[in-house]
């Protein structure tokens, strides 16, 4: 499947992927790079710290970086 990036940098996630990953309006997601690939990771409200630690091992550089991102997201919600 292909999609086009809009002028604002937005893309549409195909419905098949949204259904498979249970992505709904308002789902928080994060992005990380793995080599030359951009990976989208949906964040679930009920995730435990151990779950986030798995994400760090897969590509997020540190818990401080993650917490900084979460603080920025919360500021944007206000």
- Domains contained in the chain, number: 1
pLDDT for the residue 10: 93
β-sheet bridge partners, residue 32: 39
pLDDT values of the chain reduced to their tens digit, one per residue, 78 residues: 889 999 999 999 999 999 998 899 988 887 877 778 888 888 777 777 677 667 666 665 555 666 677 777 777 765
Write down the pLDDT at residue 16: 93
- Name the residue range of residue 29's domain: 15-77
The whole-number pLDDT of residue 41 equals 80
Asked if residue 2 belongs to a domain, the reply is: no
Written as six digits, the tokens of 40 are 């989208």
pTM, full prediction: 0.54
Among 70, 12, 52, CA closest to 4: 12
Q: Are 11 and 25 in contact (CB under 8 A)?
A: no
Residue holding tokens 């964040």?
43
């Amino acid at each position: 499947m292909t999609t086009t990036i809009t002028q604002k940098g937005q893309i549409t996630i195909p419905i098949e992927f949204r259904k498979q990953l249970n992505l709904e309006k308002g789902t928080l997601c994060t992005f990380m790079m793995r080599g030359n690939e951009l990976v989208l990771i949906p964040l679930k409200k009920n995730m435990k710290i151990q779950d986030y630690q798995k994400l760090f091992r897969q590509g997020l550089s540190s818990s401080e970086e993650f917490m900084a991102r979460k603080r920025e997201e919360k500021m944007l919600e206000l």
